[in-house]
Structure 1
Amino acid sequence: MKLSIVIPAFNEAQNLPETIHAFYMALRENRIEHEILIVNDNSTDDTEAVIQHLQQEIPTLHTVFNNPPKNGFGYAIRKGLEHFTGDCVVLVMADMSDSPADLVRYYQTFVALQVDCVFGNRFMVKGSVTRYPRKKLILNRVVNNLIALLFRIRYYDCTNAFKLYSKHTIEGLKPFLSPHFNITVELPLKAVVRGYTYAIVPNTWRGRKFGTSNLKIREMGSRYFFILLYCLIEKFFSRGDFKKKW
């Protein structure tokens, strides 16, 4: 069963080599068939040159897209989701905040339990976060607990992008609406609302070594609110029109 990895990258020249090598080695050691897709989101640093160099070293890094304007995290993710060829796909951050060992666990859980999605939870037993800015951590806990309450689910880490979806789930979540980081909420909430099955496993997260996060909280507030409202409307008023057909 083939796994696709979609990695959006905006000015990540310093972080990409460690990230790509680490994930490739973990997947190779566990004999997981895979492909790595990097979407260069119109970077202004040496990201493109770094990717070209990595392609010479990593045999499974065989598809790279340069995302034209309009740019944004969500647009880059959507570009990758249009072109992956695996049986399942996982979204991975370019800054090495996600763990290759966790990805292996996601994949093994997906295969063993035959669920539609695998979601990580950094805040459950055996999960952890490192170098998480305190203000962002507090906001994260407030937002994720509010989402769990509104949608009546027992999952408390919806906003993290690092999740795995089957190919048929991704097809069932279209069309995608989010152009920016709010796509991290759109994908799992649509999956839950539309009746796709999911498993929750602990995962780890660590703050980036180089550069600064491209997530601007003040800019994203209204965009997160929009997608939450959209998913709530679908949950309570769509009368099951978008539900997975079993």
Structure 2
Amino acid sequence: MKLSIVIPAHNEEGSIEETISTLYAKLKENRIDHEIVVVNDHSRDTTEAILARMSTEMDTLVYYNNDGPGGFGNAIRYGLARFSGDCVAIMMADLSDSPDDLLKFYHKLMEGYDCVFGTRWSNGGKVVDYPFVKKIINRMANAIVKYTFALKYNDCTNAFKIYRKETIQGLQPLLSHHFNLTLELPLKAIVRGYSYAIVPNSWHNRKHGESKLKIKEMGSRYFFILMYCLIEKFFSRGDYKKADAKKVTMAKRA
């Protein structure tokens, strides 16, 4: 099963080379058929120059310049429209996500799940140097999501996840332009009946550059996606359900 990794990159000259090199070495070492898809999202530093050079040195690295509107969600959507693998993982450009965890996600997906979701806040999960205020907001937001949708999963906003190609196709159309895409993807997968496993993962704060997440700008956008998925869950009458999930539902009703 070919694995694609989509990485959005905006002004990541301090991190992108180490991130790609570490990821590439780990995947090669484990002989995993893969491609690393980096989307340069309107960077104003040397990110593109670094990607251009590295793409001539690594046979599995491809990069695109996002020629549409900028934003974290837009960059990921750009990559999701172009990856060639049988499954796709979303990872950050600052090496906050672990390549070792990616291997765990990949092997778990091969057990037959449609998606694998990471959790940093359960047994086995780990966070290093997580900003205190951001942590409080994160835990409150995820608690709201968890109880609103009656989930056992406690880290929906964690961007680090992996999906089968067919799952990504089944989650269309994607609406989010920004970090709220990290909530849209798993909630749609859950609401639409895709199977998923939860695997603990680690998270390390970035060594270089600044976080692109602007908390003050994101509250209403997360709320919009939350309400959209809630409306779909209760009022869409199963129109967007995964095909075999819909058959199971209809069989139960009969």
Query: Do both share a fold (TM > 0.5)?
Result: yes
Query: Is the counterpart of residue 109 in structure 1 residue 103 in structure 2?
Result: no
Q: Please state whether the residue corresponding to 2:14 is helix, strand or coil.
A: coil
Q: How far 1:196 moved relative to its partner?
A: 0.1
Q: Please state whether the residue corresponding to 1:83 is helix, strand or coil.
A: coil
Q: Please state whether the residue corresponding to 2:183 is helix, strand or coil.
A: helix
The residue type paired with residue 122 of structure 2 is M
- Structure 1 residue aligned with 2:84: 85
Partners in 2 of 1:56 and 1:242 — Cα distance? 41
The residue type paired with residue 127 of structure 1 is G
Q: Please state whether the residue corresponding to 2:243 is helix, strand or coil.
A: coil
Q: How far 1:83 moved relative to its partner?
A: 0.5
Identity of aligned residues (%): 59
- Structure 2 residue aligned with 1:21: 21
Q: How far 1:29 moved relative to its partner?
A: 1.1
Over aligned residues, Cα RMSD in angstroms?
0.7
Q: How far 1:57 moved relative to its partner?
A: 2.3
Q: How far 1:69 moved relative to its partner?
A: 3.8
Q: How far 1:90 moved relative to its partner?
A: 0.3
- Structure 2 residue aligned with 1:224: 222
- Structure 2 residue aligned with 1:161: 159
Q: Larger Rg: 1 or 2?
A: 2
Q: How far 1:10 moved relative to its partner?
A: 0.2
Q: Which of 121, 146, 149 matches 2:147? A: 149
Partners in 2 of 1:13 and 1:162 — Cα distance? 21
The residue type paired with residue 149 of structure 2 is F
The runs of at least 4 consecutive aligned structure 1 residues that moved more than 4 Å come to none
**Structure 1 contact 117–164 (Cα < 8 Å) conserved:** yes
**Structure 1 contact 42–69 (Cα < 8 Å) conserved:** no
Partners in 2 of 1:235 and 1:145 — Cα distance? 18
The residue type paired with residue 233 of structure 2 is K
Q: Which of 193, 199, 203 matches 1:205? A: 203
Q: How far 1:116 moved relative to its partner?
A: 0.1
Partners in 2 of 1:36 and 1:194 — Cα distance? 28
The residue type paired with residue 92 of structure 1 is M
Deviations 1:55-104, CA, capped at 9 Å, x for gaps: 1222110x211002411111100000000010000001000000000000
**Structure 2 contact 55–63 (Cα < 8 Å) conserved:** no
- Structure 1 residue aligned with 2:251: none
Q: Which one is further off, 21-30 or 184-193?
A: 21-30
Partners in 2 of 1:45 and 1:126 — Cα distance? 37
Q: Please state whether the residue corresponding to 1:5 is helix, strand or coil.
A: strand
- Structure 1 residue aligned with 2:250: none
Partners in 2 of 1:208 and 1:194 — Cα distance? 34
- Structure 2 residue aligned with 1:215: 213
- Work out the number of aligned pairs and report it: 244
The residue type paired with residue 66 of structure 2 is N
Partners in 2 of 1:31 and 1:69 — Cα distance? 34
Deviations 1:165-195, CA, capped at 9 Å, x for gaps: 0000000000010000100000000000000
Q: How does 1:53-132 map to 2 (within 5 A)?
A: 53-61=53-61, 63-111=62-110, 113-132=111-130
Query: Is the counterpart of residue 5 in structure 1 residue 5 in structure 2?
Result: yes
Where does structure 2 lack aligned partners over 5 or more consecutive residues? 245-254
Deviations 1:22-58, CA, capped at 9 Å, x for gaps: 1111111111100011100010000000101211222
Partners in 2 of 1:70 and 1:53 — Cα distance? 25
Deviations 1:116-141, CA, capped at 9 Å, x for gaps: 00001111111100010000001111
**Structure 1 contact 132–207 (Cα < 8 Å) conserved:** yes
**Structure 2 contact 11–46 (Cα < 8 Å) conserved:** yes
TM-score by length of 1: 0.98
TM-score by length of 2: 0.95
